[in-house]
């Protein structure tokens, strides 16, 4: 019997192949539930056999053969059921599997099919995220639930409903046609971006979960970039994630407070992630399209390439934010642009941009948006409008949901008060 | 498998009558073209254009009785104007046709699969 530690190690090896094997099973059998059950069986079988026989040279191939066998067993069992509809369907799947199954040494990479299916716009966004992490990421239901701070039962139900929708509406397990490609790839990137942001933001409190979400998003983006080599936005998203993740060890101070980018200890930035990120951005820039992710990655690169905080090229960054705003005029972009303008051309320039936002439809959304107030407060502080800055900091603190950010804002507010005497 | 496409359109009642009629006949021409494409592709099963909500009558259970009253199921801004039934292999195919429907440009098209036809 394997000890707990070696069982965990074997489990990790098996799960690393999850995306690849599951994707192949789904492509062969056309049924996600069946694929997941067969996969579970295969992993359990591995945990019995590998301690005795040793880990196979190609775990993916071993697991695929085992899972395929189990899937066929399950289908045969289902085909003999009294429920005619279920039996009929099982029989169909068996026939289809027999037609499409090739004796292959290594499973063909069907992950592209699976990721497009999991990220189909017909599924609710939360379900797309959960399904992607579960099937392609190989994360357990518990791990995904923990990362998003929901009860396991909630997440299990979310996954169930998503799979039910795939069945009932017949969402196909297929790479989209060229006509649909643009919209569908954008949907995939949005899911990966969301996963990364969830890990990167400080709202998820468990640092290990946060880290694993970022790692997972990067891993999936890397795989996607390899599967779709000519696409600039895919590589740009990978670059963006890497350049942010590179700073993860410098983002928080000893008391857990947030350290702004230009004050971070650059020695703690991870050079390998920066190198990979910059390489991905260069590759993206060589592709035909220049989209929002590429501009965001360029901004991140501008920050990261500055030798010190005071060398930050704020004018260039402000110009990039103006470009980003034309592509994606969201509140967060417009606030960040105001911050950059404030640094590039003085706080009044930044405040003018924020004032523009204050009127109209944008205003209602912004009032409840903590970063708006934080940016506003910072610009007012720099402009010497202390009393207004205090009010803005207080509003920001009240609305802030993340502890590290709240602490940072509180210390900024305290700094104001002490200066005012 | 069959899919119902349900067309929820914004009301035209605020427009002057002549403009309303012009818009409607334009739309009907385009819908006929769309339907011709559906028929040619072999996916068309049926279509039903519905009279306005003013012509709707609803039956509702109240206690032990079923009562009849004037009006639609719900007072909504967009109104169910009609439906179309298509035979498609999967959701993406049905969505592809729905996107080409001229009504998708002005209102909401709900795409709903038939009950229980798994596989």
> Closest partner residue to A172 among B90, B113, B118, by Cβ?
B90
Is the CB of B91 less than 8 angstroms away from the CB of A179? no
The enclosing H or E element of B4 equals: strand B2-9
Same-domain pairing of A199 and A115: yes
Chain B residues lying within 8 Å of A179, measured CB to CB: 96
Q: Which residue range(s) make up the domain with A76?
A: 1-108
Q: What is the pLDDT of residues A215-253, one digit of tens each?
A: 989 999 998 998 888 899 999 999 999 999 999 989 888
Q: Is A182's Cβ below 8 Å from some Cβ in B? A: no
Taking a C-beta distance cutoff of 8 angstroms, is the pair A258, A252 a contact? Answer: yes
Same-domain pairing of A1 and A92: yes
Q: Assess if residue A174 is contained within a domain.
A: yes
Q: Assess if residue A215 is contained within a domain.
A: no
Q: How many structural domains are present in chain B?
A: 1
Same-domain pairing of A99 and A44: yes
CA distances from A177 to A174, A180, A291 (A): 9, 5, 21
Q: Assess if residue A419 is contained within a domain.
A: no
Q: What is the pLDDT of residues B56-82, one digit of tens each?
A: 999 999 999 999 999 999 888 899 999
- pLDDT value at position A147? 81
Q: Is A76's Cβ below 8 Å from some Cβ in B? A: no
Tokens 């706080």 label which residue? A347
Model confidence at A54, pLDDT cuts 50, 70, 90, reads confident
Q: What is the pLDDT of residues A254-303, one digit of tens each?
A: 877 888 888 899 999 999 999 999 999 999 999 988 999 999 999 999 99
Q: Is B96's Cβ below 8 Å from some Cβ in A? A: yes
Q: Which residue of B has its CA nearest to A164?
A: B118
How near does any CA of chain B get to the CA of A312, in Å? 46
Q: Which residue of A has its CA nearest to B110?
A: A122
Q: Assess if residue A248 is contained within a domain.
A: yes
d(CA A21, CA A68): 10
Q: What is the pLDDT of residues A170-188, one digit of tens each?
A: 999 988 888 888 899 999 9
Query: A27: how many CB neighbours lie within 10 A of its CB?
Result: 21
- pLDDT value at position A288? 84
How near does any CA of chain A get to the CA of B32, in Å? 24
Q: For an interface test with B, give the residue of A97, A169, A172, A184 to mutate (most B CBs within 10 A).
A: A169
Taking a C-beta distance cutoff of 8 angstroms, is the pair A293, A189 a contact? Answer: yes
Query: Whole-model pTM above 0.80?
Result: yes
Q: Which residue range(s) make up the domain with B35?
A: 2-113
Is the CB of A170 less than 8 angstroms away from the CB of B96? no
Strand intervals (E) in B23-78: 44-49, 57-62, 65-70
d(CA A249, CA A252): 7
Q: Assess if residue B119 is contained within a domain.
A: no
- Residue A54 backbone phi and psi in degrees, to 5: 90, 155
Same-domain pairing of A104 and A117: no
The enclosing H or E element of B112 equals: strand B108-113
Supply the CATH number for residue B72's domain.
3.30.70.1060
Q: Is the ipTM of this complex over 0.90?
A: no
Buried-state track A9-24, b at ≥16 Cβ within 10 A, e below 16: ebbebbeebbbbbbbb
Q: Is A267's Cβ below 8 Å from some Cβ in B? A: no
Chain B residues lying within 8 Å of A122, measured CB to CB: 91, 95
Q: What is the dihedral of CA A212, A218, A223, A224, to 10 degrees?
A: 120
Q: Is A122's Cβ below 8 Å from some Cβ in B? A: yes
- pLDDT value at position A105? 47
> Closest partner residue to B119 among A92, A169, A171, by Cβ?
A92
Task: Name the region of A282 (left: φ>0; alpha: ψ -120 to 50; beta: rest).
Answer: alpha
Is the CB of B119 less than 8 angstroms away from the CB of A172? no
Strand duo B2-9 + B79-87: pairing: antiparallel
Q: Assess if residue A149 is contained within a domain.
A: yes
Model confidence at A212, pLDDT cuts 50, 70, 90, reads confident
Q: Assess if residue A394 is contained within a domain.
A: no
Q: Assess if residue A362 is contained within a domain.
A: no
Of A93, A108, A123, which residue is a domain's last? A108
d(CA A408, CA A400): 11
How near does any CA of chain B get to the CA of A336, in Å? 34
Q: How many structural domains are present in chain A?
A: 3
Q: Which residue of A has its CA nearest to B4?
A: A169
pLDDT score of A53 more than 80: yes
Q: Assess if residue A154 is contained within a domain.
A: yes
d(CA B71, CA B73): 7
Taking a C-beta distance cutoff of 8 angstroms, is the pair A300, A243 a contact? Answer: yes
Of A304, A338, A362, which residue is a domain's last? A304
Same-domain pairing of A3 and A98: yes
- Residue A102 backbone phi and psi in degrees, to 5: -105, 150
Sequence length of chain B is: 119
Is the CB of A168 less than 8 angstroms away from the CB of B118? yes
């Amino acid at each position: 019997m394997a000890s707990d530690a070696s069982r965990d190690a074997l489990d990790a090896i098996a799960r690393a192949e999850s995306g690849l094997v599951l994707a192949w099973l789904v492509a062969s059998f056309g049924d996600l539930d069946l694929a997941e059950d067969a996969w579970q069986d295969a992993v359990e079988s591995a945990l019995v056999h590998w301690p005795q026989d040793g880990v196979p040279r190609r775990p993916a191939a071993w697991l695929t053969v085992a899972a395929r066998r189990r899937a066929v067993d399950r289908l045969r069992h289902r085909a003999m059921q009294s429920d005619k509809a279920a039996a009929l369907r099982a029989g169909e799947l068996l026939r289809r599997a027999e037609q499409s199954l090739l004796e292959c040494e290594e499973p063909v990479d069907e992950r592209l099919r699976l990721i497009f299916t999991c990220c189909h716009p017909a599924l609710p966004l939360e379900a797309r995220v959960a399904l992607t992490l579960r099937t392609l990421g190989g994360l357990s239901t518990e791990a995904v639930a923990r990362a998003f701070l929901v009860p396991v039962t909630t997440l299990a139900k979310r996954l169930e409903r998503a799979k039910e929708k795939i069945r009932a509406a017949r969402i196909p397990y297929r790479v989209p046609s060229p006509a649909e490609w643009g919209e569908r790839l954008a949907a995939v990137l949005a899911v990966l971006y969301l996963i990364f942001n969830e890990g990167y933001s400080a709202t998820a409190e468990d640092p290990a979960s946060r880290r694993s979400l970022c790692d997972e998003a990067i891993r999936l983006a890397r795989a996607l970039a390899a599967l779709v080599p000519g696409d600039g936005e895919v590589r740009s998203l990978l670059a963006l994630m890497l350049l942010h993740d590179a700073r993860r060890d410098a983002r928080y101070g000893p008391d857990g407070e947030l350290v702004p980018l230009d004050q971070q200890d650059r020695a703690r930035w991870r050079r390998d992630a920066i190198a990979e990120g910059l390489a991905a951005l260069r590759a993206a820039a060589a592709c035909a399209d220049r989209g929002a992710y590429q501009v965001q990655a360029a901004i991140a690169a501008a920050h990261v390439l500055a030798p010190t905080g005071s060398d930050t090229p704020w004018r260039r960054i402000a110009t990039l934010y103006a470009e980003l705003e034309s592509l994606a005029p969201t509140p967060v972009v417009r606030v960040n642009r105001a911050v950059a303008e404030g640094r590039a051309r003085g706080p009044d320039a930044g405040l003018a941009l924020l004032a523009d936002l204050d009127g109209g439809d944008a205003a209602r959304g912004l009032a409840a948006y903590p970063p708006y107030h934080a940016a506003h407060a910072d610009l007012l502080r720099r402009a010497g409008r202390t009393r207004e800055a205090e009010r803005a900091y207080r509003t920001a603190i009240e609305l802030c949901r993340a502890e590290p950010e709240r602490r940072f804002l509180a210390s900024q507010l305290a700094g104001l008060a002490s200066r005012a005497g | 498998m069959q899919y119902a496409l349900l067309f929820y359109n914004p009301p035209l009642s605020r427009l002057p009558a002549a403009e309303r009629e012009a818009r409607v006949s334009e739309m009907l021409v385009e819908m006929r073209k769309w339907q011709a494409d559906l028929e040619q592709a072999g996916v068309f099963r049926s279509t039903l254009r519905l009279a306005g909500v003013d012509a709707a009558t609803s039956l509702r259970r109240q206690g032990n009785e079923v009562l009849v009253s004037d009006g639609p199921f719900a007072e909504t801004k967009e109104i169910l104007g009609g439906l179309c039934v298509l035979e498609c292999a999967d959701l993406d195919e049905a969505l592809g046709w729905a996107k080409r429907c001229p009504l998708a440009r002005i209102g909401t098209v709900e795409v709903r699969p038939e009950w229980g036809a798994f596989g």
